[in-house]
Structure 1
Amino acid sequence: MITLSGTPLDVQQIIQAATRLQAGAVNAFIGTVRDNAKGKRVLRLEYEAYESMAVAEIQKIVDAAAVRWPLQAYAISHRVGVLQPGDVAVVVAVSTPHRADSFAACQYIIDTLKETVPIWKKEVLEDGAEWISAHP
């Protein structure tokens, strides 16, 4: 399951979608909106995405992960739109037979997603706003 959502993410539902009986490990990364950046208060984040391209790119990442680790299932969801501090911005959940593979696959997916997927973030701080490079 790969989704982009304009509504709050249901973390438990995403984890459940990645859960399989044959898997001994389910690993989830939950990215949240923090209340500060660069020493300033964050008022909100605004995410935009090229949806079809973002979903296709995430699928490529999952396919590459499946070559390296024995993924049993996965579920990835990223918010778009306006988010407040404390909101969940992204959830990556994967299941594998053993925990080491689960940790490694989950980290690979979130790290690569942040590097390559066309999702853009605007930070609105107490003294102005700025688009943050999605691909540093």
Structure 2
Amino acid sequence: MPVFRLSETPFDTGTLRSALLDERVGAYAGFEGWVRDHNEGRDVDGLRYEAHATLALAEGRRVMDEALAKYGIIEAHCVHRVGELAIGELAVWVGVTAAHRDAAFAACRFVIDEVKARVPIWKHERYRDGDAGWLHPAQDR
């Protein structure tokens, strides 16, 4: 059963990955997105993710269900952080298992692209020059 969730605290990717494995799995593909120290030529000091939790969870689950149906994968999970994050912290993780690598890679790419485009999670970046700004979900690719 595909899973999408939000987390206010750091999470362990090894534990998340191990929950996906079973004897049907021939391939695993994963994606990890970290907070970087720059964006569009500006030095970033940190950020905050905010979400409309009810809508984000519902849309996130739709994305995961679509990945399962479209790519014939075995399982897919995605966890996205909310709250304050520092440079270098893990912000989002996607894990996908399938019988074969092509489906796992394609579904993993689909999940992260669709989550960033459709799920109501907003990023508020703080810049080193003292300025700050909100980014629309689809702007951060």
The TM-score bracket by the shorter chain reads over 0.9
User: 1:135 corresponds to which residue?
Assistant: 138
1:25 aligns with 2:27: yes
2:60 partner SS:
helix
CA distance in 1, matches of 2:103, 2:39: 32
1:135 partner SS:
helix
Identity of aligned residues (%): 38
Higher alpha-carbon deviation: 116-125 or 33-42: 33-42
Provide Cα deviations, 1:48-89, integer angstroms capped at 9, x if missing partner: 001121111011111111111122112210000000110000
> Which runs of 5 or more residues in structure 1 are unaligned?
none
1:45 partner SS:
strand
Q: CA RMSD in A?
A: 1.1
Give the alignment partner of residue 95 of structure 2, picking from 93, 96, 101: 93
Deviation at 1:3, TM superposition (A): 1.6
Deviation at 1:39, TM superposition (A): 2.3
Q: How does 1:82-121 map to 2 (within 5 A)?
A: 82-121=84-123
> Which runs of 5 or more residues in structure 2 are unaligned?
none
Provide Cα deviations, 1:83-104, integer angstroms capped at 9, x if missing partner: 0110000001010000000000
Deviation at 1:23, TM superposition (A): 0.9
CA distance in 2, matches of 1:117, 1:33: 18
Deviation at 1:118, TM superposition (A): 0.3
Deviation at 1:115, TM superposition (A): 0.4
CA distance in 1, matches of 2:14, 2:60: 20
Provide Cα deviations, 1:98-118, integer angstroms capped at 9, x if missing partner: 000000000001001100000
Alignment check: 8 A CA contact 1:14 1:77 kept: no
Deviation at 1:18, TM superposition (A): 2.1
Number of aligned positions between the proteins:
136
User: 1:55 corresponds to which residue?
Assistant: 57
Alignment check: 8 A CA contact 2:68 2:75 kept: no
Higher alpha-carbon deviation: 55-64 or 103-112: 55-64
2:36 partner SS:
coil
CA distance in 2, matches of 1:20, 1:98: 14
What letter is aligned with 2:74? Q
Alignment check: 8 A CA contact 2:59 2:118 kept: yes
